[in-house]
Structure 1
Amino acid sequence: MTNSTQQPTSGGLKVEANGVNAVPESERYGSPSGLFPVWFSWNVSILGIAYGIYVYSLGLNVWQSISAGIVGYLISCFLVGILAVGGPRTGLPTLTQTRFCFGYHGNKFPTLFAYISNMGWKITLITLASTSGAALFAKLWPAAFALADGKPTLGCILGWFILSLALTMSVAVYGHQLIMKVEKYIAWLTGFMSIIFIFLILPHIHWDRVGVSAHQGSLLTWIGGAVMAMTMVGLGFLNYGGDFARYLPKKTPASKVIFWTTAGISFPVSILLILGTLLADSNPDLSAAAAQSPISSLTDLLPMWFYVPFSVVIIISLLSAAITGIYSSGLALLALGLPVSRAATTAINALIIGFGAFYLMFISDSFLSTFQSFLASISVVIGSAGAIQLIDFVRQKRLGWDVTLANKPESGGRSGRWTALLALCVATLVGLGTITSSDPYIAHIVGFLLTDEARKSLFATANIGVIVSMVTGGGIYALLTFVLKIESVSASDTQSGKLKASQPQKAL
């Protein structure tokens, strides 16, 4: 086994060979603190300021907004940290480990939705990076890259789109080792520049107006704010926590994996949420503009000497999030059973993102709003599956984290586990029936369990139904598995399905 504090000495950087197989103990390296920069660089984004504005807009005062947002972040990120523990224990990415719970074929249902959700956000990130770069060039060299109204030319946007996509895929195709190195430097750069940005934005907060507003939200409104924070950040990462932790040694302390994962996600977004909330409470005009266009409205406040480098950092941070997301999306395709290499999945993702981002930037003027509503709907499936997997961790630990349970049925796994699938189906119906959508088409398939009056309530508009679905799914599965003891797997059952010790564990 390699030393836990050293990188593998393979003689140079190579494309990662491991796919969704269990990473051998001999290839494990690193320490749990290395998880912090990966998650930090993914989440230190100017969009975090808009998240604070969104929570405040529910009708909370400034202090309620800050507390609800931070509590929501901590809870959801803590759940991601718990699921990340499965990475070092099994050496598997999260969406492969969920086969323990749902079975080899049954796992394809939640994995498909997780893949769609992840790819949707990557399309959005690549689009934002491309348009931000084009806006920067249009401002610096208007004669060459700007139209008469100051907007970037089509060629400028297309050029930045190609560059953004190429940079993202170039890093993602190499895999875990390069990503861990790159994200460490990006975390330092974006963290340092964000500190300067915060100091430059602070004068735009009218401190004499902070906290003077008379409005105060109810307890239900506060809960709605916490739930909104959970859905904006942590819950979207439930299916990927183990992807970056699976190269850690098997005996890495769970507490450290949870701590560094939780801190890496929650720390940057909490700081930015506080800033956004203070802006919303004291500067309504600025907060309204930031809610619609957070990047342009906030960067326009910066002096030119900082606007240029910070715009570059914004682009880097967006691409950083896209890189890690593309890597996880590739693993999700493999978990679905696609018979290709991990590197090949990057090419497939590049094509999908290329078409999606091209449509978003050059054809559609309303796709983003519709797609965001769609992502909120499928988060019901993702969140419920994550809750069931969290409950199943108890069973997986009792079984000794036996990786053969993630194999095909003929190689020691299960085709499907009806207890988990039943819990997921019921939770999905409950979740879709208790959330609402601003998109008129998606609105027809959600909210069917709500009355007309309830559809307009905070419970519906804040998507508290997502949490209800998670509790429902986890509760049903816990009842079936640990109370009624249905499908209880004995040690002898596990032994009969194991592969021989001498047999290498290839694609699962």
Structure 2
Amino acid sequence: MTQSQSAPNSTSGAIKVESNGVNAVSEADRYGKPSGLFPIWFSWNVSILGLTYGIYVYSLGLSVWQSISAGILGYLISSFLVGILAVGGPRTGLPTLTQTRFCFGYHGNKFPTLFAYISNMGWKITIITLASTTGAYLFAKLWPAAFALTNGKPTLFCIVGWFIISLALTMAVAIYGHQLIMKVEKYIAWITGFMSLIFIALILPHIHWQALGHAKSGDLLTYIGGIVMAMTMVGLGFLNYGGDFARYLPRKTPASKVIFWTTGGISLPVSILLVLGVFLADSNSALSSAAASAPIEALTDLLPFWFYIPFSIVIIISLLSAAITGVYSSGLALLALGIPASRAVTTAINALIIGFGAFYLMFISNSFLATFQSFLASIAVVIGPMGAIQLVDFKRQRDLGWNINLANKAGMGGCNGRWTALISLGLAAIIGAGLITSGDPYIAHLVGFLLTENARHSVFATANLGVIVSMFVGASIYYVLTYVMKIAHPYSNPSDSNSEIPDGQEQWVAK
């Protein structure tokens, strides 16, 4: 990709379809400040889903204060990891799933990238499904004669119609790319943040304050399980694209600022909403049960009708904002896999996959919570170790001067596969999958194979602590192989640590 084809500098005014794919963004096309990362992540996470996350953490069997502290701790830890990985964006100009080629090799990177893509798409299916059902329930209440069944639920036509609208809006913005996303997300952050404050004020009267704090405290393993659940719901799912939105920042942007604004944008809104969700769950057991099957509807039913209408619209906007950024990164993931197509075509492929996934979630799955938790834990045993191994490898990448030649094939500055990283990831993923359980009957057959029958019902298994075990195993094995045993891999130019983009390099790098 030549420099003339790169994304336009933000100072040019006009917004154009982004032409950059998985190539390195040249220094001439870098713009913005690290504080611009905050609204991207804030608008993604200032969603009513944040309340349901609090309800889910509480449902593990923790007390109020255990749930709050475990949830916030899990958010901060996982968000901080995302922030660290995001630093690779400005240092290389590459999206995260291209930079991981440094660690896993050009072809070896396709294995973790495939799972990262599945993770991205699973989140998008969940988010767009929730946006669609929220819009459908809104229409069912406003015009029951046309859009509601006799039991008050929306008709199939209404749900499908809203799904098509939600998917079309998401794809339209995602295809335009980075520049439009950065502008749109700023406005969405302000709107959703303001409406969320009103929502909190209206929800507070539904908390039975006199009933708070009566739940029994959970044991240590359950508490750690709450931390793990919080990590899988918020931060771990973002590990594979933290750098996608930071790569347009100038190369010498301070790492501390990238980490600070990324961590804050992710953890601040969900932490506030988690506290409210825990309070609601502790004082209203019926709400916890309802949120397990229909999280959005269970919470919006508490609102007065005059606010229910505008807030439902804001919920849809906030969910779609999260879907937009995720679909954008999913398109980059397909390109990193080597799909010979433009970013616009990969976005269209994503639309088809989301359609099939949403059909399962809306019409086949019996429990949103069971499927959601099972998906998060199952995919985290691959994504978690992948991020942990990449973090360990950051020292090596820094010592090599963040040389973007390492993202290429053997013979062009990189290598095709790094077995040290792949073995570490493979062993960690197998061990992690064998130590978790699933509430979804279909996913349950694929996990828990290292557990005895009694262990399957233990707190260790049900709290999915195997996710943390997999991250520790992957990082430890890779650390020993790389820094203790000092196993190196051959590169085309191992002595070339020049991190600048040589003239003409942007025509072939990372494709």
Matches within 5 A, 1:36-47: 36-47=38-49
* 1:36-435 matches, cutoff 5 A: 36-213=38-215, 215-361=216-362, 363-366=363-366, 369-370=370-371, 373-435=374-436
Quote the Cα distance in structure 2 between the aligned partners of 1:195 and 1:498.
Answer: 45
Worse-matched range after superposition: 282-291 or 135-144: 282-291
Distance 1:354 1:449, change over 3 A: closer
Secondary structure of residue in 1 paired with 2:47: coil
Residue aligning to 2:474: 473
**Structure 1 residues 409, 499: closer, same or farther in 2, change over 3 A?**
farther
Aligned residue for 1:152, secondary structure, equals coil
| Kept after mapping to 2: 8 A contact 1:21/1:505 | yes
Instruction: Give the CA deviation at 1:120.
Output: 1.6
Structure 2: which amino acid aligns with 1:150? G
Taking a change above 3 Å as real, the CA distance of residues 494 and 338 of structure 1, as seen in their structure-2 partners, is farther
- Change in Cα spacing, 1:337 to 1:488, as seen in structure 2 (3 Å) is closer
Measured against aligned partners, the alpha-carbon deviations of 1:79-104 in whole angstroms (never above 9, x if no partner) come to 00000000000000000000000000
Structure 1 position 506, deviation (Å)? 3.1
Number of the residue aligned with 1:17: 19
Residue 469 to residue 503, structure 1, CA distance change in 2 (3 Å): same
Partner Cα separation in structure 1 for residue 361 and residue 489 of structure 2? 48
Q: Specify the code of the residue in structure 1 equivalent to 2:306.
A: W
CA shift for structure 1 position 443: 2.6
RMSD, aligned α-carbons: 2.1
Structure 2 Cα separation of the partners of residues 360 and 292 of structure 1? 11
Distance 2:276 2:379 in 1: 29
Alignment check: 8 A CA contact 2:90 2:252 kept: yes
Structure 1 residues 147, 412: CA separation in 2 closer, same or farther (over 3 Å shift)? same
Give the Cα–Cα distance (whole angstroms) in 2 for the partners of residues 497 and 192 of structure 1: 46
Which stretch shifts more, 184-193 or 126-135?
A: 126-135
In 2, Cα distance between equivalents of 1:499 and 1:195 = 45
Sort the Cα spacing of 1:11 and 1:302 in 2 relative to 1 into closer, same or farther, 3 A.
Answer: closer
* SS at 1:452 equivalent: coil
Q: Distance in 2 between matches of 1:376 and 1:125?
A: 17
Cα deviation, residue 491, structure 1: 11
8 Å contact 2:412–2:492 — kept in the other structure? no
Q: Give the Å deviation of 1:353.
A: 1.6
CA distance in 2, matches of 1:154, 1:34: 40
Supply the AA of the counterpart residue of 1:219.
L
8 A contact 2:402–2:499 mirrored in 1: no
Give the SS at the match of 2:448: coil
2:292–2:367 contact (8 Å) kept in structure 1? no
- Quote how far apart the aligned CAs of 1:227 are: 1.0
Contact kept, 8 Å, 1:227 with 1:467, in 2: the verdict is: yes
2-side partners of 1:278 and 1:497: how far apart? Answer: 54
Q: Which residue of 1 aligns with 2:461?
A: 460
Question: Which amino acid counterpart does residue 274 of structure 2 have in structure 1?
Answer: L
> Distance between the aligned counterparts of 1:491 and 1:149, measured in 2?
67
1:191-213 per-residue CA deviation (whole Å, 9 max, x = no partner) reads 00001000100011111121234
Per the TM alignment, residue 11 of structure 1 is displaced from its structure 2 partner at its CA by: 4.9
1:174 is matched by which residue type in structure 2? Answer: Y
Pairwise CA distance, 1:370: 4.8
Instruction: Report the CA distance between 1:16 and its aligned residue.
Output: 0.3
How many angstroms apart in 2 are the aligned matches of 1:437 and 1:298?
A: 25
Amino acid at match of 1:9: T
Q: State TM-score, norm by structure 2.
A: 0.94
How far residue 175 of structure 1 moved from its aligned partner, in angstroms, is 0.2
3-state SS, counterpart of residue 494 of structure 2: helix
Contact kept? 1:69, 1:273, Cα under 8 Å? yes
- Greater mean alpha carbon deviation, residues 458-467 or residues 156-165: 156-165
**CA distance, structure 2, for counterparts of residue 234 and residue 470 of structure 1:** 14
Shift of 1:389: 0.2
Q: 1:60 to 1:364 in 2, by over 3 A?
A: closer
- Equivalenced residues, count: 502
Shift of 1:173: 0.3
Unaligned runs of 5+ in 2: none
Paired with 2:360 and 2:68, the residues of 1 have a C-alpha distance of 36
Percent of residue pairs identical: 75
- Partner of 1:8 in structure 2? 10
SS in 1 for 2:314: helix
Q: Which digits, 9 at most, give the CA deviation of each residue in 1:120-150, with x for residues without a partner? A: 2211211111111111011011122222222
Counterpart CA distance in 2 for 1:445 and 1:156 is: 35
CA contact (8 A) 1:404 1:499 kept: no
The CA distance in 1 between the partners of 2:442 and 2:145, in whole Å, is: 42
Query: In structure 2, how many angstroms separate the alpha carbons of the residues matched to 1:192 and 1:454?
Result: 46
The 8 Å contact of residues 16 and 175 in structure 1, kept in 2 or not, is answered as yes
**Conserved 8 A contact 2:89-2:243:** yes
Distance 1:384 1:319 in 2: 29
Give 1:486 deviation, angstroms.
Answer: 0.6
- After superposition, the C-alpha distances for 1:420-441 in whole angstroms (9 at most, x for unaligned) are 0110111111101111112334
CA distance in 2, matches of 1:287, 1:203: 17
Q: Once the two structures are superposed, what CA deviation does each residue of 1:145-178 show, in whole Å capped at 9, x if it has no partner?
A: 2222222222222221111111101100000000
Maintained 8 Å contact 1:89/1:250: yes
How far residue 358 of structure 1 moved from its aligned partner, in angstroms, is 4.0
**CA gap 1:404/1:338 in 2 versus in 1, 3 angstroms:** same
8 Å contact kept, 2:410–2:491 = no
